[in-house]
Structure 1
Amino acid sequence: MPLPITWMLCFLFAFSVNADYSTQDWWWSYTCNNGQCIRSNDPNVNSTPAVQNLLNVCRISCGQYGSLWPQPSGHTAISSRILTFHPSKMYFDLNIVGNKIANDFVVTSTNIFLNNLFTECEGNCSIRSNTEIEVSIKTTSPDLSLTWRTDEGYTIALSSGGNQVSVEIEAATVFGARHGLETLSQLITGYELNGRHGLAIVSHARISDKPFYSHRGLLLDTSRNFLPLNAIKRTLDGMAASKLNVFHWHATDSHSFPLESPRVPQLSRFGAYSAKEVYHPTDIAELISYAYQRGIQVILELDGPAHAGYGWQWGSEFGLGDLAVCVNQQPWRDYCIQPPCGQLNPSNPNLFKVMKDLFRDVIDLFSHGSVLHLGGDEVFFPCWNSTEEIVDWMQKQGLGRSVTDFLEVWGQYQETVLKLWDEQVGHDRTPIMLWSSHLTDPLIIERYLDKDRYIIETWVDKSDELPQLLLSKGYRVIFATKNAWYLDHGFWGSTAYYKWNVVYDNRLPFGFKGVLGGEVAMWGELVDEFSLDAKVWPRAAAMAERVWSNPDTSSLAAQNRMLEQRERLVRRSINAEAITPEWCYQNDGYCS
């Protein structure tokens, strides 16, 4: 028979009392064993483990490289002993060669470093310590130029005695010093005990480090989908955390022209998606400065002669004729590789007058020694062949309508644009980048492109011999390996998604002095500010280690450090995608 209600209430109350398990915090305990942080079999219930037995504290000193990313290229020794400290007791002694600008650069770098430390303790470093840390930073060169020739190397010597920690960072340039501070931040981690947060640092370390490749890039496409400044800045922060040094800004395409040109305002007026989706000169200057402070040079890409539609379609209305042809023409497959169609009109001299003014604006914003990327891929000859004005112009030059004739037109276009750029810059030493294309075919490239001026960015499969053939001819090459480093793949068509280990294991060829480095490319058809972080990170960091230290080990050896780098990016407000279940993160070696 049913129990009386009063009996049921008493029973439930008694059960709830008996089931009131302790809600006190408990922890797993970790110890470093053969380069892995091993979790104890049983949780250390109701007692606080030593700080060094917490997982992220274990990681900064476990293994030859701790949690450093990218792996240093030179001698690396990290102590297993840990000290706790509070950021208020960290002091800086600067010995910077050069002018006030150089000194201010390093001061700002230390502020960024400290901000990163606060993220490690979730913005509230409440656990105090008597440990004092003095960071001495010394540079030996006044050179403030950021190019492929910049010396980015540095050394760190960290030692301790009693409650004193001494850190010596030495570098030739301020950019090497910046990298040294980034590495120092990775010898430090936050920890939590009883709801309070503190910082821990290794007691001793010696590191000698410099990049293997001079070009370590990431491409963002802001034409297909506009990316606001904050989204780009987050990307730059992730690049700085991974020691990438080139932001390749694919700013324009046939979809939109979001760059404001003071001399040619029609480009963004007719090319931007809206008045709010425009990069004004002040925005561009802000991005360049933000990147520079993080050791990143900005390489602007103005795509052409293909991939040029919206932004160029106003010429006739202003009495300049057709600056571009086939703009938004249908059926699009007859006129371009991807809609909307559009291709610059090499037969219209007014096109080059407009480009002259645009180049002047670019030079005003970027330094005269800056590299310029002029696109140059996927020129679609049927577009030009269907344009009566261009065909008539070709006939007047004695050209027919064969592939060879259209290659000649394309070559003339490149020659004219290069001369125009040189005239605005005032010299002929600025490198020009181009994508690999029909014009870079090793059988004909020397006819059209000077190897001393042009750098070819190849976007072919890793098995393709094109890069090696160009290198053997003396061209400088940057690799954007399509089937490893194209981060948009896997989201459209029959393309494959390349996990971080595939990105990491893509090696560049040895034995060619013209290999400048590589890039990952985040093409923007299916990415905007809301999905950007997860599609870029942490895969871009995997490429960063490949081009920084070019390790002779595989991604398997880097797995634990990659997991920690992903966590580090997240702590720095970069929404990197998860690459493993948390159980795997807490149990080294079980999910390899």
Structure 2
Amino acid sequence: MWYSNDDCRIRHKGFPIGIARKLIVISIYLSSFSTSSVQGSSIKSEFKWICTNGNTQCRRVDVAYESSDAYPSVELCRLVCGEAGPLWPQPYHITITQRKLIVINPESLIIRIKPQFDTQITKDVIQVFRDNIGREYNNCRSNIETKVMVNINLSSNISHLDWNTDESYDLEVNTVSDSTVNVNINGNNIFGARHALETLSQLMTTYPESDNSTCLALLKGVKIDDKPIYSHRGLLLDTSRNFLSLKTIKKHIQAMAASKMNFLHWHISDSHSFPMETPRVPNMTIYGAYSPKKIYRYHDILELIYYGLVRGVRIVLELDAPSHAGYGWQWGPEAGLGNLTVCLNEQPWRQACIQPPCGQLNPSNKKVYDVLEKIYKDMIGLMPWSEIFHMGGDEVYIPCWNMTEEILKYMSGKGRSTQAFLDLWGEFQGEALKRYDNAIGNQNTKVIIWTSQLTDPAHIEKYLDKNRYVIQTWVPDTDELPEQLLSLGYKLIISTKNAWYLDHGFWGTTKYYDWRAVYQNQILLSPDVLGGEVCMWGEYVDDNGVLPRTWPRAAAAAERLWSNPTSPSSRVEARFYRHRERLVARGIEADAVVPRWCYLNEGQCG
């Protein structure tokens, strides 16, 4: 059977009829589009989108559909559709006063700020905003005369980001006329203003003009009163198992900024490698880095810290100890300091550690604390504020110490019970904290530590001062440990192991948690719960895969930590899919979470 003259011609050229039919379908499909340049213009669409279902859902309609409320892209429709439009994370309170769009030339956008707040960090924050919206348009040559005036009002010059920083803001977009749009932003400091500018950028999207140029469309009227529920909204990156380039870390910071996450927990060292340059102890990288090219130089870390600050992200460094300390510490005997680490690369490794290569600090060697204090001083020099530091403290493997003769000799008379080794561990932690206090010259700083045997509610108060230590829990959501620690008066950061460990599903019997599982993970709401972190441990990721494995799933946790929503994931999927597209547009290799068809046809794949 012949299907058409085209089919006949294709078959005549030797194609089997099944392939011929597929080629015809492809040919017809391609002929329905007229293409133009990739940037600055899009493929001519045969569809429009309208906001339906009580202003909650964008529905695709035929291009012939005649209505002033039909938009040429789903992104334009999404600006006016839904309670929170395209915004991610969901604002604390939002009122859309004009559910219409106005086309603007972003080149004419003017930003004003009071002179006393016109600092370098303010200028850099504004430039990041301009760069972000710059990705949404190309060569806008429209004769649009609409003036957009952005007025930023700050209450202080504070550029200090910690758990007490006020990140709230007010934002109002008011279209006075077809030629005038006023945007007013109020924030207590530059971080609140930065969040407001991020929100403003999300209220804009590409608007196609003629002759292959694109401008921007802006939602005409909206009032937003916004603030985060949790003060700690974090992401852990591990650069010891596999080195991550500065470029990759910066992309994570960009994605965090787009999602209003504010703490990058940098697990910078482990038993595998020590890639952080420490000028006072250069042997750490000489013996611990994978190569001279895989070292984070002092000036590189300083640059990253400021890069994050401009984007509302504070970097918290973690020096894990006494466990997870191997390569980088093995030079002690050569320097006359004795064994700084024990069980180094012990085999068979299961007898001496949780994960190869083995290595734990030697608490019987007092020189260990001298080296730690020097490293602490170098790390403090990197941090613009040193009130927050992560001391690691998890997974001490007691059999390692129990098989080390010099440690057993040091413990002579104390016995070899679990309690005796816990006391040794507590002794180490107390001396390490003392050395950190010496380095910083302050005994009131906050130190974060992972949950472990030492944080067992039965004896945690013996070892860890609740006024000094913040406990980061990494137990499943069914574990009562967080509640027990709260009842004892400890402040917590929560990393739910069976929802927010993004490395799971790629090794052993662990389970992969999709964005819905990440989103629906609710953590305790208490003044002593500072917030939470999603964790991307580095055993199975490097520059080639860490971004798509982390994003956009981490953004799902970002909304949980910003607004603690009550809506199920099915109610927010259109916004989430839009945010994934936003990340991609900003150069973040965020993984696909749904077929493209589902993105273009909201609500049809649930």
Compared CA separation, residues 28 and 461, structure 1 to 2 (3 A): same
SS of match in other structure, 1:314:
coil
Deviation at 1:322, TM superposition (A): 0.4
Deviation at 1:197, TM superposition (A): 1.6
Partner residue of 1:519 out of 530, 533, 552: 533
SS of match in other structure, 1:72:
coil
SS of match in other structure, 2:323:
coil
Amino acid at match of 2:432: V
In the alignment, which residue of structure 2 is the partner of 1:561? 575
In the alignment, which residue of structure 2 is the partner of 1:181? 197
Amino acid at match of 1:367: P
Q: Distance in 2 between matches of 1:40 and 1:555?
A: 22
Q: Distance in 1 between matches of 2:506 and 2:143?
A: 48
1:240-296 deviation line (CA, Å, top 9, x unaligned)? 000000000000000000001000000011000000000010100010010011111
Compared CA separation, residues 213 and 190, structure 1 to 2 (3 A): same
**Contact residue 260 and residue 281 of structure 1 kept, 8 A:** yes
SS of match in other structure, 1:318:
coil
In the alignment, which residue of structure 1 is the partner of 2:3? none
Amino acid at match of 2:110: Y
Compared CA separation, residues 61 and 78, structure 1 to 2 (3 A): farther
Partner residue of 2:401 out of 384, 388, 394: 384
Deviation at 1:97, TM superposition (A): 5.2
**Contact residue 241 and residue 272 of structure 2 kept, 8 A:** yes
Q: Distance in 2 between matches of 1:112 and 1:128?
A: 26
1:516-574 deviation line (CA, Å, top 9, x unaligned)? 00000000000111101101101110000000011121211111100000000000000
Deviation at 1:343, TM superposition (A): 0.2
1:90-132 deviation line (CA, Å, top 9, x unaligned)? 001102655x5xx3222211111111111112x5444452211
More displaced stretch, 425-434 vs 68-77: 68-77
Partner residue of 1:81 out of 100, 115, 121: 100
Compared CA separation, residues 402 and 55, structure 1 to 2 (3 A): same
Deviation at 1:39, TM superposition (A): 3.2
In the alignment, which residue of structure 2 is the partner of 1:438? 453
SS of match in other structure, 1:316:
coil
Deviation at 1:157, TM superposition (A): 1.0
Deviation at 1:53, TM superposition (A): 4.3
SS of match in other structure, 1:114:
helix
**Contact residue 96 and residue 138 of structure 1 kept, 8 A:** no
In the alignment, which residue of structure 1 is the partner of 2:62? 42
SS of match in other structure, 2:472:
strand
Residues 485-564 of structure 1 mapped to structure 2, 5 A cutoff: 485-510=500-525, 512-564=526-578
In the alignment, which residue of structure 2 is the partner of 1:31? 50
Compared CA separation, residues 338 and 571, structure 1 to 2 (3 A): same
Compared CA separation, residues 21 and 260, structure 1 to 2 (3 A): closer
1:68-109 deviation line (CA, Å, top 9, x unaligned)? 0000012433532101111111001102655x5xx3222211
Query: Does the alignment pair 1:112 with 2:136?
Result: no
SS of match in other structure, 1:116:
helix
SS of match in other structure, 2:363:
coil
Deviation at 1:304, TM superposition (A): 0.7
Compared CA separation, residues 242 and 561, structure 1 to 2 (3 A): same
Residues 184-199 of structure 1 mapped to structure 2, 5 A cutoff: 184-193=200-209, 195-199=212-216
Amino acid at match of 1:202: L
SS of match in other structure, 1:432:
strand
In the alignment, which residue of structure 2 is the partner of 1:406? 421
Compared CA separation, residues 126 and 335, structure 1 to 2 (3 A): farther
Q: Distance in 1 between matches of 2:112 and 2:310?
A: 19
Q: Distance in 1 between matches of 2:339 and 2:429?
A: 19
SS of match in other structure, 2:372:
helix
SS of match in other structure, 1:81:
strand
In the alignment, which residue of structure 2 is the partner of 1:5? none
**Contact residue 94 and residue 222 of structure 2 kept, 8 A:** no
1:408-437 deviation line (CA, Å, top 9, x unaligned)? 000000000111111111111110000000
SS of match in other structure, 2:521:
coil
TM-score (norm 2): 0.91
Compared CA separation, residues 32 and 271, structure 1 to 2 (3 A): same
Q: Distance in 2 between matches of 1:35 and 1:48?
A: 15
In the alignment, which residue of structure 1 is the partner of 2:372? 355
In the alignment, which residue of structure 1 is the partner of 2:76? 57
Deviation at 1:370, TM superposition (A): 3.5
**Contact residue 118 and residue 125 of structure 1 kept, 8 A:** no
SS of match in other structure, 2:174:
strand
Compared CA separation, residues 236 and 57, structure 1 to 2 (3 A): same
In the alignment, which residue of structure 1 is the partner of 2:88? 69
Query: Does the alignment pair 1:251 with 2:277?
Result: no
TM-score (norm 1): 0.93
**Contact residue 52 and residue 82 of structure 1 kept, 8 A:** no
Residues 9-20 of structure 1 mapped to structure 2, 5 A cutoff: none
1:115-159 deviation line (CA, Å, top 9, x unaligned)? 1111112x5444452211000001012322111000000000110
Deviation at 1:163, TM superposition (A): 1.0
SS of match in other structure, 1:29:
strand
Deviation at 1:12, TM superposition (A): 9.1
Q: Distance in 2 between matches of 1:51 and 1:167?
A: 26
SS of match in other structure, 1:30:
strand
SS of match in other structure, 2:427:
helix
Query: Does the alignment pair 1:448 with 2:476?
Result: no
Deviation at 1:227, TM superposition (A): 0.3
**Contact residue 102 and residue 178 of structure 2 kept, 8 A:** no
SS of match in other structure, 2:185:
strand
Query: Does the alignment pair 1:93 with 2:112?
Result: yes
Partner residue of 2:389 out of 372, 375, 384: 372
In the alignment, which residue of structure 1 is the partner of 2:433? 418
Q: Distance in 1 between matches of 2:521 and 2:442?
A: 37
Compared CA separation, residues 38 and 513, structure 1 to 2 (3 A): closer
SS of match in other structure, 1:333:
helix
Amino acid at match of 1:62: C
SS of match in other structure, 2:47:
coil
In the alignment, which residue of structure 1 is the partner of 2:171? 156
**Contact residue 246 and residue 299 of structure 1 kept, 8 A:** yes
**Contact residue 49 and residue 70 of structure 2 kept, 8 A:** no
In the alignment, which residue of structure 1 is the partner of 2:37? none
Q: Distance in 2 between matches of 1:304 and 1:71?
A: 38
Amino acid at match of 2:437: D
Q: Distance in 2 between matches of 1:144 and 1:167?
A: 23
More displaced stretch, 123-132 vs 30-39: 123-132
Q: Distance in 2 between matches of 1:22 and 1:410?
A: 70
Partner residue of 1:269 out of 286, 297, 308: 286
Amino acid at match of 1:191: Y
**Contact residue 60 and residue 601 of structure 2 kept, 8 A:** no
In the alignment, which residue of structure 2 is the partner of 1:211? 228
1:40-86 deviation line (CA, Å, top 9, x unaligned)? 443449x9998844211110121110000000012433532101111
Q: Distance in 1 between matches of 2:497 and 2:220?
A: 43
Amino acid at match of 1:487: L
Compared CA separation, residues 361 and 517, structure 1 to 2 (3 A): same
Q: Distance in 1 between matches of 2:208 and 2:77?
A: 13
Residues 293-332 of structure 1 mapped to structure 2, 5 A cutoff: 293-332=310-349
SS of match in other structure, 2:411:
helix
Compared CA separation, residues 59 and 211, structure 1 to 2 (3 A): same
**Contact residue 56 and residue 83 of structure 2 kept, 8 A:** no
Compared CA separation, residues 278 and 51, structure 1 to 2 (3 A): farther
SS of match in other structure, 2:604:
coil
Amino acid at match of 2:506: F
Amino acid at match of 1:469: Q
Compared CA separation, residues 445 and 218, structure 1 to 2 (3 A): same
1:200-230 deviation line (CA, Å, top 9, x unaligned)? 0011110000000000000000000000100
Partner residue of 2:473 out of 455, 458, 471: 458
Q: Distance in 2 between matches of 1:130 and 1:12?
A: 58
Query: Does the alignment pair 1:337 with 2:354?
Result: yes
